[in-house]
Structure 1
Amino acid sequence: MPLLAHTAAIEQIYEQHHSWLYGWLKGKLNDACDAADVAHDTFVRILAARNAADIREPRDYLATIARGLVIDRYRRSAIETAYLQALATRPEACAISEEDRVLIIETLMAVDKALACLGARTQRIFMLSQIEGLTYQQIAVQLQVSLTTVKKHMIRALTECALIMAQH
């Protein structure tokens, strides 16, 4: 799609639907700043997609993108909270810079994204190994599967995590 047509379509969608999207998000999020951020991010996504002239139902399209962004925000918040809780339980005082904290949260988000693409058994095996600290043999016994099965699922999980991390 020519850039000029894409830009013109974005302008039209923005002018006609931005205030509706902002109001809709404000009602969902109960926070004007978060609503403004998600509305902005929604239009950034449309800009990057370069398909604005093909959008036939702008409100449905905007709402779909915004819902995904809101889910991403909640997921990130949950991961960040879990990380901070885990950090607080550590016996030694641990001073982490804001930059390092952001990098750690982004890494955890990437791992979460990688694991979301895997099956429930692979996720469970990965968590038992990496979070609970169980050996592959202990996992095999607990889940009543073979050691080979545990290894196969760990290879899949670690490969997916490595692929996601290579993209960052």
Structure 2
Amino acid sequence: MNAPPSAPVPGSTLEDLYRANHGWMQRWLQRKLGNASDAAELAQDVFVSLLSTPRVFNDAEHARAYLGRMSRSACVDFWRRRRIEQAYLEVLAAQPEHQVPSLEHQAIILETLGQLQAMLERMPKRVAEAFCLAQLQGMKQREIAEQLGVSERSVNKYLAQAMYQCLLLEVELDVSLT
């Protein structure tokens, strides 16, 4: 089966891949997001990601499938960030004006919240539950064990896994700030 003439062939450059796929990707993202500006930004993000982590594709179909998967993932991340941003803005609106952080601090907080959400989603369900019960509700390990129906030793293990993920996030944040 021959690839369409505009499609890249194996071993082609990122530029060829961009030319052959950017248009359809941006149109697809615009239909999903309802906004040309956001779609253009996400399409660029997908190709920047490919620039930083180059891939080799077997054929044009493989490249398009991969780009489609990356586009879907970018959409999910975009909507997740939007939900977090909206919740944060609602909290800010309820604050007295003198307690509202600067725009720079707001941007840092939103980025951190997004990374925290992504970290929680990467964790196994029980680990994330135990972490949230401990950190957000102030529950003790015994209470968490009862709530989750597991042993205290399991809760201890879950919390250790969660703290390890927090340390990785902290290192990631430190690196991004330098």
TM-score interval, normalised by the smaller of the two chains: 0.7 to 0.9
SS at match of 1:114: helix
Alpha-carbon distance change, 142 to 86 in structure 1, aligned in 2, over 3 angstroms? farther
Q: TM-score normalized by structure 2?
A: 0.78
Gaps of 5+ in 1: 1-6
CA contact (8 A) 2:46 2:71 kept: yes
Q: 2:35 corresponds to which residue?
A: 31
Give distance in 1, aligned partners of 2:131 and 2:80. Answer: 19
Q: TM-score normalized by structure 1?
A: 0.82
CA contact (8 A) 1:122 1:157 kept: yes
Identity, in percent, stands at 35
127-136 or 49-58, which deviates more: 49-58
CA contact (8 A) 1:110 1:165 kept: no
RMSD (Å), alpha carbons: 2.6
> Is 1:66 paired with 2:71?
yes
Comparing both chains, which one has the higher relative contact order based on Cα–Cα distances under 8 Å and sequence gaps of 6 or more? Answer: 1
Residues paired across the two proteins, number: 163
Equivalent position to 1:166, from 161, 171, 177: 171
SS at match of 2:41: helix
Q: Deviations over 1:67-107 (max 9, x none)?
A: 11111111111222233334455689521111111211222
Equivalent position to 1:98, from 100, 103, 112: 103
Give distance in 1, aligned partners of 2:80 and 2:12. Answer: 34
> Is 1:138 paired with 2:104?
no
Equivalent position to 1:47, from 47, 51, 55: 51
Q: 1:10 corresponds to which residue?
A: 14
Q: Deviations over 1:6-37 (max 9, x none)?
A: x9612212222222222121112111111111
